[in-house]
Structure 1
Amino acid sequence: MKPKETYHILVVDDEFPMRQMLRIYLQHGGYQVTEAAGGAEALNQWRKQSYDLVILDLMMPGTDGWTVCETIRSSSAVPILMLTARAGLEDRVEGLELGADDYLAKPFEAKELLARVQALLRRSYDFPVSYEPSQEIERGALRVNPEKRSVYVSEEEVVLTPKEFELLHTLIAKPGRVFSRELLLQQIWGMDYMGDVRTVDTHMKNLRLKLNAFYHEKNPVHTVWGVGYKFEES
């Protein structure tokens, strides 16, 4: 990874004590921090400059975290860590479906926050050893470039989040092989990830929806019921 001090994180929360705590934790961890006290301010900050990661509270008055997440994700693959005071499955799934990469339930410890931030940055901006960045993969009309982290179908770009890209790259690198949810969770989210396999299902659902716009009923990413997923052209 590049030096921590070069990573710039946007922290979005309507509660000042929470923003202050996040700033202290993150600056202690060596990161640059910009704060936004609400959704509208966050989007204004987002349009002014680029950030390497967004930490986003979901439950805010006015422009809430769901709206901010959806707006950012419509034009950027920047990693998003959502914060929620409610640990319910539905809230987590909805956030992931809107494009968030991970979630953290309040209250949390500084050690866990920094571990999740570091993991997201590493997975978003570093290439795993197995990626062989110089090797572009083509499967029919689909072209995946690990070095540029770009995906094209018939020369039209498909904008994916970091996790969606890693899922697709993992599958397309070994066409026909069935990957279990557990294996994908370990390989892409890491052994230290505290979520469950439904996280894989949520991101895979989003990936398939994006590919459907190009493939329609011949989506090459297949669900193998009760097992996992595979890449196989029809």
Structure 2
Amino acid sequence: MEQKILLVDDERMITDVLEAYLLKEGYDVAKSDNGLDALRKAEAEKPDLIVLDLMLPDISGEEICRLLRKESDVPILMLTAKSGEDERINGIVMGADDYVTKPFSPREIVVRIGAILRRVRKAAPQREERLSFNNHELVLDLVKKEVTLHGEGISFTPIEYRLLSNMAKSPGRVYSRMDLLEKIQEDGFPYEGYERSIDTHIKNLRKKIEKDARGPKYILTVFGMGYKFGGTADDENASF
């Protein structure tokens, strides 16, 4: 399957030239010339890598990188006219995987993209990409972070998805509210809620995946202890 690259730069000539080089190498390409559109496309199109210019007309590249890192680990290659050491360090600290200063060679960008993607594939844990329950009634795609119920896609907040996916990885395991709070905050995810706020997120989650929220079969309450995932895993699922 073609890997998709999202090019984010307000200089049309740069994105057009990079697009031509990337298409020649077999990549799929999406383009954006501003920050708001880039964030929308990153969410909708799930690119495999983002080439991100730091100087955009509406939102800085640093801010876009920070917002993306709240919900995604998509590789980011930053482009900038700033060549100072501090700028390069700040880019990496923000979460970028690589940093290139302008002017640059399009061939170099293509080579760097390929190197980043190879590194990501090599570092990725070997695991089943999907979890399926109750004869494919509920399916979680752990790579795309998508969930379907009866074949229909369901929209979740990042917190709801983290709750569901972590519980679904270990059906039957009982999680206390503190356990779930810690799961939400893994990998630096910015969440400042408290234990009882978990109940509200569980309630909202049930509304989306349970036929009867008062008699749930997926997100079960274990009185005095917390919650557990009650779905029956299909045989194709990997163990975690």
TM range (shorter): 0.5 to 0.7
Corresponding residue of 1:30: 26
CA positional deviation for 1:159? 5.1
CA positional deviation for 1:19? 1.0
Identity, % of aligned pairs?
37
Say whether residues 1:11 and 2:7 are aligned partners.
Answer: yes
Say whether residues 1:112 and 2:108 are aligned partners.
Answer: yes
CA positional deviation for 1:40? 1.0
Q: TM-score, normalised to structure 1's length?
A: 0.54
Change (3 A) 1:127 1:62: closer
CA positional deviation for 1:79? 0.3
1:124 corresponds to which of 111, 120, 123:
120
CA positional deviation for 1:47? 2.3
Say which SS state the counterpart of residue 79 (structure 2) adopts: strand
Q: How many residues align?
A: 142
Say if 2:33 and 2:56, in contact at 8 Å, map to a contact too.
no
Counterpart of 2:122, as a letter, is D
5 Å matches for 1:55-94? 55-94=51-90
CA positional deviation for 1:63? 1.0
CA positional deviation for 1:76? 0.5
CA positional deviation for 1:89? 0.9
Q: Deviations over 1:124-172 (max 9, x none)?
A: 12348xx8x48xxxxxxxxxxxxx9xxx9x7744655xxxxxxxxxxxx
Counterpart of 1:106, as a letter, is K
CA distance in 1, matches of 2:17, 2:107: 13
CA distance in 1, matches of 2:23, 2:101: 21
Say whether residues 1:44 and 2:22 are aligned partners.
Answer: no
Higher alpha-carbon Rg:
2
Say which SS state the counterpart of residue 72 (structure 2) adopts: coil
5 Å matches for 1:149-228? 156-157=182-183, 160=187, 210=188
Say if 2:6 and 2:51, in contact at 8 Å, map to a contact too.
yes
CA distance in 1, matches of 2:20, 2:111: 15
Say which SS state the counterpart of residue 74 (structure 1) adopts: helix
Q: TM-score, normalised to structure 2's length?
A: 0.53
Please report the RMSD computed on the Cα atoms of aligned residues, expressed in angstroms. Answer: 2.8
5 Å matches for 1:131-150? 133=126
CA distance in 2, matches of 1:25, 1:71: 28
CA positional deviation for 1:21? 1.1
Structure 1 unaligned spans of 5+? 135-147, 161-209, 214-234
